[in-house]
């Protein structure tokens, strides 16, 4: 279950400057744990104390916002691409 | 995954230019902070401080948005009503309140008319209504020229030579135009289904234009990934803290144009929610430095029902936004995942305002009502504002005696498709008096105005 994860610039200090990493996971929650396992400290940036994703972070699975899927319980499939994108202004 | 290297003088993903030089003179830009009144950035959520570089999120702690920190004592010591009134008739008369260090890119942006809208007021049953008409803002006829003027000034100061944005149309127009004026390379991203006027109104400045097969939120996600890879200045991403400050000038101008007074109530469109929060910040800053007397001002926001995540959250009493997929003619405010939505809700709640949504039919009626009553042709976002204004009056949520300001943020000539089938037609006649007589009689029989559409 290889998942490709796109890492935003502010988090690349955790991933040795890698913009894209491959991890094994079957859900978003599992992916967050896998990220923490490989890059200790990264989960505290992504999630609050209760383990919930911070409200100014957006996660997408193959371009779909996980809030239109099953949030952190969203199931992942082999080859999925997950993007971590901080919220931005519009217009 | 590999990407082509960017063509600008930056290392990929590097936030700091390798050599910050003026793009035309080649003279190195040093920290000429003598005139600047801002001291850095800080997280709006947790307060963590950052240097005033090209960054937009609290990367060390909570990913909250960053905002500019000012030295208000310095501002207070430098500005007065007289110094502002003696300044240029553009947003730069307020430059002490804007996050720039040196000479601004001044393309005449801002100081747009504040129109006393007596006919519309009478129609709606209000006694004191004003239209702040940024549909005639320069150079591209929307309020975006304000934010882009600030963002590109700061981009140049930070040494960027290529600028970019994710846009629902107006921002693309403005970024392309002001980049052309400043001699900056420009690559902008839009959804591929935008109105023709907004596409042509970008292409004419000859930027690299990417029409993305997706909605604005998908364009924004893509741009965030591009921003991670290319060393460009994205006005609404890594330059966002500076960019968004430009909207404060819509607050300052209304105060000044009302004779250095605050209104009682404002109604403004909500897309990402940024404009709404910055108008509030503009009011607060003028109060803070003593340029205007404090009084309560109610803030009400307008959304289209087909993309109303902020209105839905407000109605449900939530302080968080559940994203939606946009489906409305009001494309310029069709942001399904509005970053500043929670802050807009907070302001509406704190000020005793409200946030409401209207249908596409009501939006078209709003465009027509403003045009027929005041001679102002706005785009769909302005139609949304007028329709919500009307709705709030009908619901008793605007006191008829209040001084109310409705913010019109864009020009109708850019989105003629929206109203083409909803307005009348000309009477086509022969070049003979008899033909005119006949047509005139027909027009009077149907109470004047345009001919019915066939």
> For B229, which of A19, A63, A65 is closest by C-beta distance?
A19
pLDDT at B318 over 50: yes
Are the C-beta atoms of B10 and B17 separated by less than 8 Å?
yes
What interface predicted TM-score (ipTM) does this complex get? 0.85
Interchain proximity B337–A11, CB inside 8 Å: no
Mean predicted confidence (pLDDT) in B48-61: 94
pLDDT band at B319 (very low <50, low <70, confident <90, very high): confident
- Sequence-ordered strand ranges (E) for A9-52: 20-24
pLDDT at B33 over 50: no
To the nearest 10°, the Cα dihedral for B94, B100, B104, B106? Answer: -50
Structure-token pair, residue B205: 């400045």
Bridge partners of B303, per DSSP, are: B357
> For B170, which of A45, A87, A91 is closest by C-beta distance?
A91
pLDDT at B39 over 70: yes
Q: For B427-446, what is each residue's pLDDT tens digit?
A: 999 999 999 999 999 999 98
Sign of CA dihedral B203, B209, B212, B217: negative
> Nearest residue of B to residue A57 by CA position?
B63
Are the C-beta atoms of A18 and A12 separated by less than 8 Å?
yes
Mean predicted confidence (pLDDT) in B216-229: 85
Q: B398 touching A, CB under 8 A?
A: no
Please report the pLDDT score of residue B116 as a whole number: 98
The count of residues in chain B is: 454
Bridge partners of A85, per DSSP, are: A58
Please report the pLDDT score of residue A56 as a whole number: 86
- Show which residues on chain A lie within 8 Å of chain B, measured between beta carbons: 4, 6-12, 17, 19-20, 45-46, 54-58, 60, 63, 65, 67-68, 83, 85-91
CA distance B218 to A58: 12
Q: What is the largest CA-CA distance in chain B?
A: 78
Q: How many CA atoms lie within 13 A of B136 on its CB side?
A: 11
pLDDT at A70 over 60: yes
> For A90, which of B1, B225, B335 is closest by C-beta distance?
B335
Per 3-state DSSP, chain A is made up of helix, strand and coil in percentages (nearest 5) of: 25, 30, 45
In DSSP notation, B224-269 reads HHHHHHS--EETTTTTHHHHGGGGHHHHHHHHHHTTS---SEEEEE
Q: For B61-105, what is each residue's pLDDT tens digit?
A: 888 899 999 999 999 999 999 999 999 999 999 999 999 999 999
pLDDT band at B229 (very low <50, low <70, confident <90, very high): confident
pLDDT band at A89 (very low <50, low <70, confident <90, very high): low
Q: For B150-194, what is each residue's pLDDT tens digit?
A: 999 999 999 999 999 999 899 999 999 999 999 999 999 999 988
Mean predicted confidence (pLDDT) in B356-364: 98
Are the C-beta atoms of B51 and B57 separated by less than 8 Å?
no
| DSSP letter, residue A41 | T
**With contacts defined as CB-CB under 8 Å, which chain B residues touch A53?**
none
Q: B167 touching A, CB under 8 A?
A: yes
| Chains A & B: contacts with CB separation below 8 Å | 113
Query: What's the N-to-C CA distance of chain A in angstroms?
Result: 37
pLDDT band at B15 (very low <50, low <70, confident <90, very high): very low
In terms of Cα–Cα distance, which of B285, B273, B281, B345 is closest to B314? B345
In terms of Cα–Cα distance, which of B123, B173, B124 is closest to B147? B173
In terms of Cα–Cα distance, which of B241, B239, B234, B283 is closest to B67? B241
pLDDT at B8 over 60: no
Please report the pLDDT score of residue B228 as a whole number: 78
Q: Which residue has the higher pLDDT, B346 or B454?
A: B346
**With contacts defined as CB-CB under 8 Å, which chain A residues touch B13?**
9, 12, 17, 19
Q: Helix B170-182 to helix B144-157 angle, to the nearest 10 degrees? A: 40
pLDDT band at A1 (very low <50, low <70, confident <90, very high): confident
Q: For B392-412, what is each residue's pLDDT tens digit?
A: 999 999 999 999 999 999 999
Mean predicted confidence (pLDDT) in A5-13: 89
Sign of CA dihedral B102, B106, B109, B114: positive
Please report the pLDDT score of residue B418 as a whole number: 92
Mean predicted confidence (pLDDT) in A6-15: 89
Q: Which residue has the higher pLDDT, B22 or A6?
A: A6
Please report the pLDDT score of residue A50 as a whole number: 92
CA distance A66 to A35: 17
Q: For B382-396, what is each residue's pLDDT tens digit?
A: 999 999 999 999 999
CA distance B190 to B183: 21
Sign of CA dihedral B157, B162, B165, B170: positive
CA distance B193 to B89: 36
Question: Residue B79: enclosing H or E segment and its boundaries?
Answer: none
CA distance A76 to B278: 39
Structure-token pair, residue B253: 């101008």
Are the C-beta atoms of B298 and B352 separated by less than 8 Å?
yes
CA distance A14 to A12: 5
Interchain proximity B147–A91, CB inside 8 Å: yes
pLDDT band at B447 (very low <50, low <70, confident <90, very high): confident
Alpha-carbon distances, residue B400 vs B28, B71, B126, B127 (angstroms):
56, 39, 4, 6
Are the C-beta atoms of B217 and A65 separated by less than 8 Å?
yes
pLDDT at B129 over 60: yes
> Nearest residue of A to residue B174 by CA position?
A91
- Edge-to-edge strand list for the sheet holding A81-86: A20-24, A2-6, A81-86, A57-61, A64-65
pLDDT at A68 over 50: yes
Please report the pLDDT score of residue B58 as a whole number: 92
CA of B284 vs chain A CAs: smallest distance (Å): 21
In DSSP notation, B402-414 reads SEEEEEE-BBGGG
Structure-token pair, residue B112: 């747009």
pLDDT at A90 over 60: no
Are the C-beta atoms of B69 and B36 separated by less than 8 Å?
no
In terms of Cα–Cα distance, which of B141, B38, B53, B57 is closest to B97? B38
SS3 B144: helix
The lowest-confidence range among B6-15, B175-184, B341-350 is B6-15
Q: Which residue has the higher pLDDT, A54 or B454?
A: A54
Interchain proximity B236–A88, CB inside 8 Å: yes
């Amino acid at each position: 279950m290889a998942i490709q994860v796109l890492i935003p610039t502010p988090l690349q200090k955790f991933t040795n400057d890698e913009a894209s990493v491959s991890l094994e996971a079957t859900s978003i929650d599992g992916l967050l744990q896998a990220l923490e396992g490989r890059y200790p400290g990264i989960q505290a940036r992504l999630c609050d104390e209760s383990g919930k994703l911070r409200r100014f972070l957006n996660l997408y699975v193959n371009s779909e916002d996980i809030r239109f899927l099953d949030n952190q319980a969203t199931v992942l499939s082999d080859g999925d691409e997950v993007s971590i994108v901080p919220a931005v202004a519009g217009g | 995954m590999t990407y082509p290297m960017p063509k600008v003088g930056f290392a990929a993903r590097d936030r700091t230019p390798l050599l910050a030089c003026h793009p035309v003179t080649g003279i190195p830009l040093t920290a000429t902070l003598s005139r600047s009144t801002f001291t850095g950035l800080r997280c709006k959520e947790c307060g963590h401080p950052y240097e005033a570089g090209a960054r937009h999120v609290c990367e060390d702690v909570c990913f909250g948005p960053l905002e500019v920190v000012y030295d208000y004592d310095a501002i207070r010591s430098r500005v007065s009503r007289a110094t502002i009134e003696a300044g240029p008739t553009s947003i730069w008369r307020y430059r002490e309140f804007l996050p720039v260090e040196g000479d601004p890119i001044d393309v005449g942006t801002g100081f747009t008319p504040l129109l006393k809208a007596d006919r519309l007021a009478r129609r709606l049953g209000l006694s004191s209504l004003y239209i702040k008409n940024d549909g005639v803002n320069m150079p591209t006829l929307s309020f975006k020229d304000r934010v882009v003027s600030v963002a590109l000034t700061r981009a140049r100061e930070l040494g960027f030579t290529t600028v970019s944005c994710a846009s629902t149309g107006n921002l693309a127009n403005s970024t392309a135009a002001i980049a052309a004026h400043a001699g900056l390379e420009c690559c902008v991203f839009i959804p591929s289904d935008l109105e023709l006027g907004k596409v042509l109104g970008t292409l004419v400045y000859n930027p690299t234009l990417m029409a993305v097969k997706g909605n604005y939120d998908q364009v924004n996600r893509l741009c965030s990934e591009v921003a991670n890879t290319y060393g460009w200045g994205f006005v609404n991403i890594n330059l966002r803290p500076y960019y968004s400050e430009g909207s404060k000038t819509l607050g300052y101008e209304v105060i000044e144009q009302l004779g250095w007074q605050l209104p009682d109530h404002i109604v403004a469109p909500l897309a990402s929610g940024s404009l709404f929060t910055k108008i509030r910040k503009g009011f607060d800053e003028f109060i803070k430095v003593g340029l205007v007397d404090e009084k309560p001002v109610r803030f009400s926001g307008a959304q289209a029902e087909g993309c109303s995540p902020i209105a839905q959250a407000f109605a449900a009493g939530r302080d968080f936004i559940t994203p939606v997929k946009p489906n409305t003619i009001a494309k310029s405010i069709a942001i399904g995942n509005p970053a500043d939505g929670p802050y807009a809700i907070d302001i509406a709640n704190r000020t005793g305002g409200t946030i409401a949504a209207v249908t596409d039919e009501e939006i078209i009626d709003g465009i027509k009502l403003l045009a027929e009553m005041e001679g102002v042709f706005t785009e769909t976002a302005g139609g949304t504002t007028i329709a919500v204004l009307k709705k709030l009056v009908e619901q008793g949520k605007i006191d008829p005696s209040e001084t109310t300001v409705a913010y019109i943020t864009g020009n109708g000539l850019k989105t003629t498709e929206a109203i083409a089938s909803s307005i009348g037609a000309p009477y086509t006649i022969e070049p003979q008096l008899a033909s005119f007589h006949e047509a005139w009689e027909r027009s009077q029989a149907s109470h004047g105005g345009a001919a019915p559409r066939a």
